[in-house]
Amino acid sequence: MDKTELNELLRAVAAGSVSPEAAAARLKTAPFEELGYAKVDHHRALRQGAQEVIFGEGKTTEQIAGILTAMLDKGDRGILVTRLQAEKAAALMERFELDYHPEARIAVAAPERDKRLVGSVVVACGGTSDIPVCEEAAVTAETLGSRVHRLYDVGVSGLHRLLSKVNVLSTARAVVAVAGMEGALPSVIGGLVDCPVIAVPTSVGYGASFGGVAALLAMLNSCASGVSVVNIDNGFGAGYLASMINKTEGYDQ
Amino acid sequence: MDKTELNELLRAVAAGSVSPEAAAARLKTAPFEELGYAKVDHHRALRQGAQEVIFGEGKTTEQIAGILTAMLDKGDRGILVTRLQAEKAAALMERFELDYHPEARIAVAAPERDKRLVGSVVVACGGTSDIPVCEEAAVTAETLGSRVHRLYDVGVSGLHRLLSKVNVLSTARAVVAVAGMEGALPSVIGGLVDCPVIAVPTSVGYGASFGGVAALLAMLNSCASGVSVVNIDNGFGAGYLASMINKTEGYDQ
Amino acid sequence: MDKTELNELLRAVAAGSVSPEAAAARLKTAPFEELGYAKVDHHRALRQGAQEVIFGEGKTTEQIAGILTAMLDKGDRGILVTRLQAEKAAALMERFELDYHPEARIAVAAPERDKRLVGSVVVACGGTSDIPVCEEAAVTAETLGSRVHRLYDVGVSGLHRLLSKVNVLSTARAVVAVAGMEGALPSVIGGLVDCPVIAVPTSVGYGASFGGVAALLAMLNSCASGVSVVNIDNGFGAGYLASMINKTEGYDQ
Amino acid sequence: MDKTELNELLRAVAAGSVSPEAAAARLKTAPFEELGYAKVDHHRALRQGAQEVIFGEGKTTEQIAGILTAMLDKGDRGILVTRLQAEKAAALMERFELDYHPEARIAVAAPERDKRLVGSVVVACGGTSDIPVCEEAAVTAETLGSRVHRLYDVGVSGLHRLLSKVNVLSTARAVVAVAGMEGALPSVIGGLVDCPVIAVPTSVGYGASFGGVAALLAMLNSCASGVSVVNIDNGFGAGYLASMINKTEGYDQ
Amino acid sequence: MDKTELNELLRAVAAGSVSPEAAAARLKTAPFEELGYAKVDHHRALRQGAQEVIFGEGKTTEQIAGILTAMLDKGDRGILVTRLQAEKAAALMERFELDYHPEARIAVAAPERDKRLVGSVVVACGGTSDIPVCEEAAVTAETLGSRVHRLYDVGVSGLHRLLSKVNVLSTARAVVAVAGMEGALPSVIGGLVDCPVIAVPTSVGYGASFGGVAALLAMLNSCASGVSVVNIDNGFGAGYLASMINKTEGYDQ
Amino acid sequence: MDKTELNELLRAVAAGSVSPEAAAARLKTAPFEELGYAKVDHHRALRQGAQEVIFGEGKTTEQIAGILTAMLDKGDRGILVTRLQAEKAAALMERFELDYHPEARIAVAAPERDKRLVGSVVVACGGTSDIPVCEEAAVTAETLGSRVHRLYDVGVSGLHRLLSKVNVLSTARAVVAVAGMEGALPSVIGGLVDCPVIAVPTSVGYGASFGGVAALLAMLNSCASGVSVVNIDNGFGAGYLASMINKTEGYDQ
Amino acid sequence: MDKTELNELLRAVAAGSVSPEAAAARLKTAPFEELGYAKVDHHRALRQGAQEVIFGEGKTTEQIAGILTAMLDKGDRGILVTRLQAEKAAALMERFELDYHPEARIAVAAPERDKRLVGSVVVACGGTSDIPVCEEAAVTAETLGSRVHRLYDVGVSGLHRLLSKVNVLSTARAVVAVAGMEGALPSVIGGLVDCPVIAVPTSVGYGASFGGVAALLAMLNSCASGVSVVNIDNGFGAGYLASMINKTEGYDQ
Amino acid sequence: MDKTELNELLRAVAAGSVSPEAAAARLKTAPFEELGYAKVDHHRALRQGAQEVIFGEGKTTEQIAGILTAMLDKGDRGILVTRLQAEKAAALMERFELDYHPEARIAVAAPERDKRLVGSVVVACGGTSDIPVCEEAAVTAETLGSRVHRLYDVGVSGLHRLLSKVNVLSTARAVVAVAGMEGALPSVIGGLVDCPVIAVPTSVGYGASFGGVAALLAMLNSCASGVSVVNIDNGFGAGYLASMINKTEGYDQ
């Protein structure tokens, strides 16, 4: 509820068309629906530009179904359910129209399959093991309406692989750079492009990689400008942010 | 040097107008100038959309002056020198046209004082002690051409201060959220806006803040979407990225 | 054994009604009962205001049964057994009168189901995954005689959910604020209430949440006054302390 | 602004005695005063039971003077300024009526020297080096109206010193237990009293004390019930919370 | 091979009774027996006062059997096999005379059941969960010839339990103090006795106990003199050292 | 592609024997083969002196088979597949000529069994549990053409075992020193030899070994010259580097 | 006050020769003297075998003088003041008979210069920089009555230096092994002697030594038996413990 | 003393030309000279291929002079003194022939200025601030006889700078890759060369670089083969090792 809406509500009270008690109630309860175990936020699309996303981990199939039902009833489409195990996805598919992306562990309910994809998000990584996190980012960005280019296996210890893709990189409006181990990929890509680079450390590696901490620290210390970092393995967050940047409209002159 | 330039260079060699040796040399040496202690990157503006920025810390006044001279000779304007102590700034001012922002510890050489500022970047923080990092971000974004709104002292334990500024937040095309201690500001702001939020942890605090690590971890674990993080106290990096996002043009339909 | 009791015992010795040897023995052995694997503390209610609580983890069903028998024989009622697996609870139920709360993983032996609950403890959390820790706190506080209000799914990235419950918060005599990930909830609540806030970090999250450390550090660095912290996932400790504060009687004028 | 005030405001709008625009403005701007570098919170006493406290570290003497003036103008008395260096205190004393406690590094502006102190807060520590943190807690609690008993040099490796003070401990309504090194004092005291124990780790020690981390971890893992923890060296936070608990009034029957 | 033996060997060479080549060979190969996967050290009893101990973890039953055979063939008795799983112990019992202590996870091959136990080692801990580590220490010390007193469940948050055993503590020549969680027991015991206290942190606990690190740090920072620390869960090391100290003979006047 | 090759390619373009487009394509795509999930690097032997090694962990049997097929088709022999589980190895053996070393978890495809081994690499460790990491190093070095001497169970707490092997150590051209726990072996060996020592910490140990971190830190702080360190459990990396050093040819006079 | 004394006191009460109130008072106040800033423990020698030691760091010269006066008045001799800066020592020397050891930073008040030293404690270290910590240990042990042998510069990367001193090591009843950097010395010495080895990590080193943490971890993970560890740089603690072990008398047969 | 020398010594004893006592003495004392505060190792060149190096930090000018005198008396030349402050160097220059390299903080006593340099060591870094560590490596390698090429300011976020130097890299027999911040340089270089790469993390950076830990972890997790790591800022260690590798002679066929 932004300032305009607030003023309108208050004016309605002043005009007598809304009672004070009703206004107070609306100020407090409008934006969400109480399910007991969750409060579904129906105003989020207005406030934040995208409807609520369901984090599937730690929720039962029943809980997810309840939230989906509430959202579909309000008319939501293309609803993302992240970190969803295959068994839960299978159970949900029997009750909802649902696309499931197993490598990304993402389901899309009431998918908008003909949605036009715009702009260009590049999702890149250095090794085969990073692909699931890449896919989480890529499917998220695609579901939110962005065109995605995947550049996999372009690690920094074999620079020629990455350099051969410079033309793809040069079209990007946002890059998601995924890397485990030494986490150097975002720095190298950051020096090659002129758009934001979102670095995603992965928990891939062993020993002193400490579950992705080595890559995380490397990325936070990147010497390239335009690089920022999200949590370890947070492909969804990177894809969401990359799509948000990609879909930015021109500023008013 | 992108693919087009490479093809052109190779075609010139094929046509005999450029010798193979010259092409090889150009492929290798063109983009920078060797100063001995540094290699000034003159092609960076082409490749990355902004000319090189000079990190002042750990460089002598003479070294900075040398790099500035090389860049000014090529025609660069509005050159940022970050992390610059006041004494060095004073010494440089005698030799160069220079604006110095003491709280931000930034100098701008050959400043473009009439540059039109566009869009809207909000820089927000919770406490007085975070202001220097905010200023580093704000001055950086302004120098790069973005209009900046400052929201200081809007910490999460006094929500009404922040909520009173929701109308300013709602105009932002990118937000820089700076916080030390528990680092909660980016999460709260992330739930109020629909643009990217760049979180900057600061080393402000004591005890178990561990020089900004507590805030850094909180920010990496933000439950709000659209939030990414830069290094502790890295106001420059946040301002640079926010300006890059703010100045994004609309994508091709 | 406090100072008064000590003086009384010594006076009885002086009067000849207790022998020195008996007094020494009583000084040493009175307060607990030796079970071999444990020493049941029968004086704890006198000394600390609440009888002993049984930490179920790492104890066999037989050991728990032994301690319960010793306590019930002394007349204890409403005995808490925390961190108790469902299978052990089922086995104990065949031998004791026992209420088991599966989400809280708490059993109450010889439950006092008609006990009047007093005051007001609010237990709040940001996400569905934090509910088990909340329930551990809530059941503990209720068993110890406190009235509890539960506010679940009121995370800081959707402030309107929390703000809609300010009237409930304003009645609290103690708040238990449970949060994983960035752990910002206690800071935000701490700015809204005038009673103690007990922060409980949870191990919910992934990557750089480090099993609750990110939330723990954020809470220790809270900029709100009146906030203190217990161990990660320690719902029992928070509920116990909240009930102790809630039941504080007025000080003597 | 609680629910009652909101309803009143809305009723006034409905009755035409307040215009909608004025109501919106008041909703947004009432509770604080903008000083540029800070926003002084004049409604905090209503909302949180105690007026704002000034954290002196990182603020200039001029900034502190500005905030003090704004608060004194509103009629505040007994204003705490914490972490205040002696030189700044001396400069402020020339302009304000101020009590300065050098060991606690706390100043009290417009001190209420005849304020009646009530209840009982015990502040205890194990070694001479912990005394400054103890004093910060003790002076805070006293300024907020609590009677304080100091028990210094009662470390756990000389138990008889602590045990000789059990009668003082037994009167406490809240205990602040301060300790560096191994941080065991709160656990031992927690087993002797029936009121909340607020543990404060100090940065006293060397080697593997890691600036108070060893004590902090020990306190978080306390096996005693009723113990919670604040940040390293945070004597103010502990004293504030202890006084809040000490001054709790009896609950309604 | 000490100095005396070296001089004897060299004298034998000088006298011609041992050839130089044989001496070189003996200097190199005498003290151990090559099994391929291990080198059994038959001179260890001479050099270090106790024969080799077999660390069972990570060795196959066959490997342990091989080492046992080599040692028994040389006449060793009372051989300790630590960290031995019950299944391996059962398999070994079919081939060797073996006492197995399941709680301590220790087997003693060719046990000397009538060995006279001397002196006094006290093994103490605060909770039921620490008992396996205590037993590892106690069985080790007993096998090496020390008389052991066990004091279990004497945690610091119930001091009267510990204080009731002061007479046992006062007889100790060495104390093994085992504790998880806050690790305060060694400090408290260290203040009550006049003999060395060997502190053993255990991995018992949860959350910020970090698998025993909290207890380890507390113990390293003990304010009591005469306390030293071994690795987390290293009951064997503590029992070995306690027995070594306990069996120390009087120094020469 | 080194400078010479680049010049040659450019000269061919200048001479008209290669078209500019073909040159650009070759510059970009020559060195690797796109398999979708991986890019096989066929120029690596030229550029780095050894063909690509397949890291088996996290790859499916099908993926490994695909890469092997591509490499064998190009004529590669003696291809290393590291971190390969026994079941995958068994499946691959049905389709490829493959030697599998179960303790080292390494397979060698198209093995060159008659390859002459040269020089001398010593692989040493202190305990039975370190042997798998040693074998990974040893098999790697042997497959790459180095003669390897194994010295197992030569830990620093039984120095005579190590000292008896000084003659073997003195022949080494590179030593791989593998150790868990306190990680002291490389320092001791480093003081005995005049060739590079590559230290490999292992995750063997418990408690405060922190999965090899204790050994890693000890090795990084080695007081011996000529010691460098690879990641925890990285036997392959150590064996690869040791073989590279061992096979170094004399420098040009 | 041990069991015997308690029984005697109680018997005196029973016999009427001590009043109950006096007994209670004596039970509480006897063992120490209140100085305000400290409580001097006069019964410590009875209870712990050595009088109180004054930790000089963080105490003013006046505070130290006060404690010294109280102890000297009771007849104490050979009082240790540790971590004492040279300036404070100089000031104290003007008022007390005092020996000051600058490298060890220890003063001994009322020194017993003719005290007969008994047994044998070896203090060893690897490098020149560790000598101050060694001296703290050595002077402590000597003041407490132990004969000390110093073995400096016997680091593990030059084993022959250490091995040349095996005859000295073989006489030790306790060894203090001091090391920074990789901390390997205690493990190597532990394999050479048959008495307890007390390991002292030092903060000597740089980079990944982390102020002694690398050495501390190595020592906690020592593969040698009979090794225990004290805090980083805690030479006093090691010397105190070594002397306690060295002076152990033979056990009763 | 190697096996041959041992056999010879023993044969001399057998022949009667050396007495057993003299042999034992020589076995113990030969290899070093006792200075009290240090033991100068005169056999190190024989045993390890290079004479002892003096670590200047933490040693007084007098101690360094003493060691230098002892070494020069034995005929040593080109003696390295590392981590030497300028003032100490100036004082030593008055007494010894000494070359001092201020940026590297290294002195060379009795320098061999005409020594022929052989082979090729490349020392590379990404930024101006890393140059002192580079120089420490370069001067060390040069003093030990290696030809060194310096490649400074070739950071990974400006790849073209590094790629322009591929021809220099291709001549290297060993590379020292120095980097702070994200530490990616060794991985990128490791993919370009076929010789060992020694990675040196530097403490350059701020915030989450943690004094070089971020770079250290990145380097340990390098995905390039042939990379190993030395301690943070350990330019000497890297230069020593690089020179050792560079000067390796060809293996015997």
B39-65 pLDDT tens trace: 665 555 544 556 789 999 888 999 999
Of the two residues C101 and C171, the one the predictor is more confident about is: C101
Determine the pLDDT at residue G46. 45
**Closest Cα partner for B125 from B198, B55, B50?**
B198
Where is pLDDT greater, at C133 or E23?
Answer: C133
Q: How far B230 CA sits from the closest chain A CA (Å)? A: 5
Lowest-pLDDT range of A215-229, B175-189, E7-21: E7-21
Residues of B in contact with H152 (CB under 8 A): 37
* pLDDT of G184 higher than 90: yes
Is the CB of residue G10 less than 8 Å away from at least one CB of chain C? yes
C49 class by beta-carbon count within 10 Å (0-12 exposed, 13-18 middle, 19+ buried): middle
Q: What is the pLDDT of chain A when averaged over all its residues?
A: 87
Which chains have 3 or more CB–CB distances shorter than 8 Å to chain F? A, B, E, G, H
Nearest CA in chain A to C127: A38
pLDDT on residue H192 = 87
Sheet holding B98-101, edge to edge: B54-55, B79-82, B106-109, B98-101
CB contact under 8 A, D221 and E155: no
**Which residues of chain C does A44 touch, with a Cβ-Cβ cutoff of 8 Å?**
158
Structure tokens at D121: 């807060």
Distance separating alpha carbons of residues H82 and H109, to the nearest angstrom: 11
Assign D46 a pLDDT band (cuts: 50, 70, 90). very low
Model confidence pLDDT, tens digit, residues C30-75: 455 666 566 665 555 544 556 789 999 888 899 999 999 999 998 8
Strands A106-109 and A79-82: antiparallel
D–B contact (≥3 CB pairs within 8 Å)? yes
Asked if residue H30 has pLDDT above 60, the reply is no
F38: Cα separation from own chain's centroid: 20
- G217/F218 touch (CB, cutoff 8 Å), yes or no: yes
Determine the residue type at G61: T
Contacts of H140 in chain F (CB under 8 A): none
- Cβ contact D250:D241 at 8 Å: no
Average pLDDT score over residue span F19-29: 63
B166 part of contact set with chain C, CB < 8 Å: no
According to the model, what pLDDT value does residue D12 have? 79
- pLDDT bracket for residue E17 (50, 70, 90): confident
Q: CA A134, CA A175: separation in Å to the nearest integer? A: 11
In angstroms, the CA F95 to CA G43 distance is 81
Distance from CA of E102 to the nearest CA of D (A): 27
Q: How many residues does chain D have?
A: 253
Is residue A111 predicted with pLDDT exceeding 60?
yes
Residue window 215-244, chain E: list those with CB within 8 Å of chain G.
216, 220-221, 225-232, 237-238, 240-241, 244
Calculate Rg over the CA atoms of chain G: 21
Mean pLDDT over B75-98 rounds to: 95
Q: One-letter amino acid identity for A36?
A: G
Count of CB contacts below 8 A, B vs C? 121
- Are F and B neighbours with ≥3 CB pairs closer than 8 A? yes
List pLDDT tens digits, range F65-116: 999 999 999 888 999 999 999 999 999 999 999 999 999 999 999 999 989 9
Cβ-based contacts of H3 with chain F (< 8 Å):
166-167, 170
pLDDT score at A218:
95
Report the pLDDT value the prediction gives residue H223, as an integer from 0 to 100: 87
Give the residue-averaged pLDDT of D165-170: 84
Lowest mean pLDDT across B99-113, B196-210, D150-164, G67-81 = D150-164
Res H32: pLDDT: 57
Phi–psi pair at E33, nearest 5 degrees:
-120, 130
E28 has pLDDT over 70: no
Q: Give me the residue from D1, D31, D234 closest to B207, CB to CB.
A: D234
C-alpha closest to that of E185 among D182, D161, H102, G16: D182
Helices (H), chain E: 3-14, 20-29, 44-48, 61-73, 86-93, 131-143, 159-163, 166-169, 185-190, 213-220, 235-246
Q: Region D97-118: what's the mean pLDDT?
A: 95
Q: Residue H47: is its pLDDT beyond 60?
A: no
Calculate the average pLDDT of chain B.
Answer: 86
Sign of the CA dihedral running B169, B170, B174, B180: positive
Do chain H and D touch: 3 or more Cβ pairs under 8 angstroms?
A: no
- Segment among A60-74, F73-87, F160-174 with least mean pLDDT: F160-174
- Which residue does chain C place closest to G23, by CA atoms? C10
pTM for this structure? 0.88
CB neighbourhood size of A75 (10 A): 9
**Closest CA–CA distance from residue H16 to any residue of chain E (Å):** 6
Report the pLDDT value the prediction gives residue C69, as an integer from 0 to 100: 94
Q: Which residue has the higher pLDDT, A39 or C76?
A: C76
- Torsional sign, CA B236, B239, B244, B245: positive
| pLDDT at res. A164 | 78
What residues 49-108 of chain F have any CB closer than 8 A to a CB of chain G? none
Residue B49: what pLDDT?
54
Q: Which of F135, F236, F229, F218 is nearest to F181 (CA)?
A: F218
For H77, counting Cβ atoms within 10 Å of its Cβ (0-12 exposed, 13-18 middle, 19+ buried), the class is: middle
Q: What is the pLDDT of residue E2?
A: 46
Beta-carbon contacts of A68 under 8 Å, excluding residues fewer than 6 positions away, are A54, A79, A81, A92, A96, A109
Element (H, E) at E34: strand E32-34
CA distance E181 to E184: 9
Return the amino acid letter for A46: L
Question: Does the pLDDT at position B97 exceed 50?
Answer: yes
Higher-confidence position of D94 and H26: D94
Phi, psi of C191, rounded to the nearest 5 degrees: -85, -5
Whether B207 and D31 lie within 8 Å, measured CB to CB: no
Position A139 pLDDT exceeds 90: yes
Question: pLDDT tens, D50-72?
Answer: 678 999 988 899 999 999 999 99
CA distance D34 to chain G (A): 42
Average pLDDT over residues B212-222: 95
Tell me if B218 and C213 make a contact (CB, 8 A cut-off): no
Q: What is the pLDDT of residue C6?
A: 62
Q: Which of D2, D6, D9, D10 to mutate to test the interface with A (most CBs of A within 10 A)?
A: D10
Span E115-143, mean pLDDT? 95
Query: F241 CA to chain H: closest CA distance, Å?
Result: 5
For residue range H141-184, list pLDDT tens digits in order: 999 999 999 999 888 887 878 887 888 898 899 999 999 998 99
What is the SS3 string spanning chain F? CCHHHHHHHHHHHHCCCCCHHHHHHHHHHCCEEECCCCEEECCHHHHHCCCCCEECCCCCHHHHHHHHHHHHHCCCCCEEEECCCHHHHHHHHCCCCEEEECCCCEEEECCCCCCCCEEEEEEEECCHHHHHHHHHHHHHHHHCCEEEEEECCCCHHHHHHHHCCHHHHCCCCEEEEEECCCCCHHHHHHCCCCCCEEEEECCCCCHHHHHHHHHHHHHHCCCCCCEEECCCCCHHHHHHHHHHHHCCCCCCC
The per-residue pLDDT for D166 is 80
**Chain F interface includes E213 (CB < 8 A):** yes
Cβ–Cβ under 8 Å, residues D212 and D203:
yes
Contact F207 E37 (CB under 8 A): no
Lowest mean pLDDT among A181-185, D169-173, F248-252, G183-187: F248-252
What is the distance in angstroms between the Cα of F212 and the nearest Cα belonging to chain G?
A: 10
Q: Is the pLDDT of residue A221 over 90?
A: yes
Quick one: pLDDT at residue C67? 92
Q: Which chains touch G (3 or more CB pairs under 8 A)?
A: C, D, E, F, H
Q: Which DSSP state fits G171?
A: T
What is the average pLDDT across C88-96? 97
Burial label for A16, CB within 10 Å (0-12, 13-18, 19+), is: exposed
Mean pLDDT of G159-173: 84
- Is A131 exposed, middle or buried (CB count within 10 Å of its CB: 0-12, 13-18, 19+)? buried
**Is the pLDDT reported for residue B106 higher than 90?**
yes
The pLDDT tens digits of the residues spanning B152-193 come to 988 888 787 888 788 889 889 999 999 999 899 999 999 889
Calculate how close chain B gets to C243, using CA atoms only, in Å. Answer: 24
Task: Tell me whether residues B230 and A246 touch, CB distance under 8 A.
Answer: no
Question: Cα torsion for H95, H96, H97, H100, to the nearest 10°?
Answer: -100
Least CB–CB distance from G129: residue in H32, H58, H211: H58
Interface of G with E in 178-207 (CB under 8 A): 191-196, 198
Averaged over C158-165, what is the pLDDT? 80
**B162-171, C179-188, E91-100: least confidently modelled range:** B162-171
Lowest-pLDDT range of B41-50, C68-77, H104-113, H189-198: B41-50
Report d(CA A151, CA A169) in Å as an integer.
9
Q: What is the pLDDT of residue H106?
A: 97
Pairs across A and C, CB distance < 8 A: 49
- Give long-range contacts, CB 8 A cutoff, 24+ apart: B95-100: B95/B65, B96/B65, B96/B68, B96/B72
| pLDDT score, position B250 | 82
Predicted local distance difference test score (pLDDT) of residue H46? 45
Chains touching D (at least 3 CB pairs under 8 A) are A, B, C, E, G
Question: What's the mean pLDDT when you consider all of chain H?
Answer: 86
- The pLDDT assigned to E4 comes to 58
The answer to whether chain E touches chain B by having 3 or more C-beta pairs less than 8 angstroms apart is no
Q: Count of CB atoms within 10 A of residue F210's CB?
A: 21
Return the percentage of chain B with pLDDT > 70, whole number. Answer: 84
One-letter amino acid of A220? L
Does A42 score more than 60 pLDDT? no
Average pLDDT over all residues of chain D: 86
- Res H3 pLDDT > 50: no
Q: Please state, in angstroms and rounded to a whole number, the distance separating the CA atoms of residues H94 and H104.
A: 20
pLDDT of residue E153: 83
Block residue for tokens 């039984």: F158
The chain B residue lying nearest H131, using CA atoms, is B37
Q: Widest CA span of chain F, in angstroms?
A: 71
Rounded Cα distance between C58 and F252, Å, is: 68
ipTM for this prediction: 0.85
Q: Do the Cβ atoms of C39 and E154 come within 8 Å?
A: yes
Q: Is the minimum CB–CB distance between F9 and chain H shorter than 8 Å?
A: no
pLDDT for A105: 97
List Cβ neighbours of G231 (8 Å cut-off, separation of 6 or more): D206, D207, D208, D209, E220, E221, G237
Instruction: List the single residue in G2, G227, G251 with the smallest CB-CB distance to E167.
Output: G2
- Mean per-residue pLDDT for A84-106? 96
**What is the model's pLDDT at position G48?**
54
Beta bridge partners of C108: C80, C99
Query: Which chains, if any, share at least 3 CB pairs under 8 A with chain E?
Result: C, D, F, G, H
Whether the CB-CB separation of D173 and C251 falls below 8 Å is answered with yes
The predicted model gives H87-95 an average pLDDT of: 97
